Amino acid sequence: MTDLFAKIKEVTELQGLPGFEGPVRNYLRNRLTPHVDRIETDGLGGIFGIKNSLIADAPRLMVAAHMDEVGFMISDIKADGTFRVVPLGGWNPLVVSSQAFQLILDDGRQIPAISGSMPPHLSRGNNGNPSLPAIEDIIFDAGFTSKEEAWDFGVRPGNLLVPKNETILTANEKNIISKAWDNRYGILMVAELLENLVDQNLPNHLIAGANVQEEVGLRGAMVSTTKFDPDIFLAVDCSPAGDIFGEQGSIGDGTLIRFYDPGHIMLPNMRDFLLTTAEEAGIKYQYYCGKGGTDAGAAHLKNKGIPSTTIGVCARYIHSHQTLYSMDDFVEAQAFLQAIVKKMDKSTVELIKHY
């Protein structure tokens, strides 16, 4: 087991849904505290390590992952003891059924549960082709015989269902299969960044950590950017790979230059800075046109406008139980992030903001 794989396994097997990011926050607090001047949190639970520059008028650089992963919340307990849910984050209904979950109770207990599916034997009246159900109609089952039994065991509406999966290395030892690389990638990126910069004096006041509730509308980024008021905001997030579908984003081809997504257009001077930095540092990168959003989409609209971008990698099959991604891409993205942070001085910020 490589050191990097061991770190990835640890962080991806953490459980943290939107609004319930405690285990991931505790991980970050432990990783960041030895390498920063202080730890600060915001009112929703975002956590950031502050590393002050020795330069008095240094710009404020914010590097932010997000702690939450996608999952489900129980909305109703039926008379037969099964559950119905609401999604926390975006899910394709095709990947929800017949999967294993951990049901997390209010007291912290975890019990096994599964998402149900229609056997072909019971769908013959529909020519063997059951219709695609809405997520709210999918049955979740923990084996209880009645609502009363589930209730007596401690199950309540509002309890969480987290995908259950083991992080494993592929046979060629180049890629990893796990849940939640979106966005435990960013959590590990931030932790490794601060660990590698511990003895360096930076040309910026670095605010590095993670937001909450990104998967349900970029909520945490709105709060943290208001609190810290950075000059530049860097989201650190994972995007869907389209390589096997004939789309942009190939695993193994390096970090992403995410020049567009529906919520954010990269500023020309930011783009020039990123490309120059990548070329000078010998970073392997690929151009990426996003079809979803990141915290950069919320951050760049806050305060008086904050130039933002996303330092990312791509992974296959995100927002599901099984995500497949490249370890080499993480290494390239980490080198890229470190190069950016080391170069982000006052003159660079002024150049990015020059119109």
List the CATH number of the domain containing 219.
3.40.630.10
Residue 170 inside a domain? The answer is no
Residue 31 inside a domain? The answer is yes
159 and 185 co-located in one domain: no
The alpha carbon of 235 is separated from its chain's Cα centroid by a whole number of angstroms, namely 10
188 and 272 co-located in one domain: yes
276 and 327 co-located in one domain: yes
CB 337 within 8 A of CB 189: yes
| Strand ranges, E, within the chain | 38-41, 47-51, 60-66, 71-77, 83-88, 100-104, 110-115, 140-141, 160-163, 168-169, 175-178, 205-211, 232-240, 255-261, 264-265, 285-289, 308-315, 323-326
Domain ends where: 163, 195, 212? 163
The least confident of 110-114, 133-137, 251-255, 339-343 is: 133-137
CA–CA dist 31, 248 (Å, integer):
33
CA–CA dist 311, 196 (Å, integer):
17
| Candidate list 21, 69, 192, 214, residue with the active-site label | 214
Query: Cα-flanking dihedrals φ and ψ of residue 247, to 5°?
Result: -115, 175
Q: Give mean pLDDT, residues 32-51.
A: 98
Question: Which tens digits make up the pLDDT trace of 193-250?
Answer: 999 999 899 999 999 999 999 999 999 999 999 999 999 999 999 999 999 999 999 9
295 and 346 co-located in one domain: yes
Domain ends where: 163, 187, 214? 163
Beta bridge partners of 113: 101
222 and 324 co-located in one domain: yes
65 and 82 co-located in one domain: no
Instruction: Indicate the number of domains in the chain.
Output: 2
List the CATH number of the domain containing 116.
2.40.30.40
Residues sharing a CB contact under 8 Å with residue 6, sequence separation 6 or more, in sequence order: none
Question: Which tens digits make up the pLDDT trace of 128-152?
Answer: 566 778 899 999 999 999 999 999 9
Tell me the torsion sign for CA atoms 175, 9, 139, 114: positive
334 and 299 co-located in one domain: yes
The token duo for 194 is 């601060």
Tell me the pTM.
0.95
Domain ends where: 134, 163, 192? 163
Residue 113 inside a domain? The answer is yes
327 and 232 co-located in one domain: yes
| 25 pLDDT more than 90 | yes
Annotated ligand binding at 237? The verdict is yes
| 28 pLDDT more than 80 | yes
Instruction: Say what the pLDDT of residue 117 is.
Output: 77
145 and 228 co-located in one domain: no
Annotated ligand binding at 354? The verdict is no
Closest by CA to 64, choosing from 341, 348, 325, is 341
Is 136 annotated as catalytic? no
216 and 347 co-located in one domain: yes
Residue 168 inside a domain? The answer is no
Residue 286 inside a domain? The answer is yes
Annotated ligand binding at 141? The verdict is no
Residue 89 inside a domain? The answer is yes
50 and 141 co-located in one domain: no
Query: Cα-flanking dihedrals φ and ψ of residue 146, to 5°?
Result: -160, 165
For 159, the 3-state DSSP assignment is coil
Instruction: Say what the pLDDT of residue 355 is.
Output: 86
Residue 172 inside a domain? The answer is no
CB 306 within 8 A of CB 231: yes
Closest by CA to 91, choosing from 67, 73, 78, is 73
Residue 217 inside a domain? The answer is yes
Can you spell out the DSSP letters for 246-276?
A: TSS--TTS-EEEEEEETTEE--HHHHHHHHH
For 170, the 3-state DSSP assignment is coil
Annotated ligand binding at 182? The verdict is yes
Q: Which domain, by its residues, includes 111? A: 71-163
Question: Which tens digits make up the pLDDT trace of 274-325?
Answer: 999 999 999 999 999 999 999 999 999 999 999 999 999 999 999 999 999 9
88 and 227 co-located in one domain: no
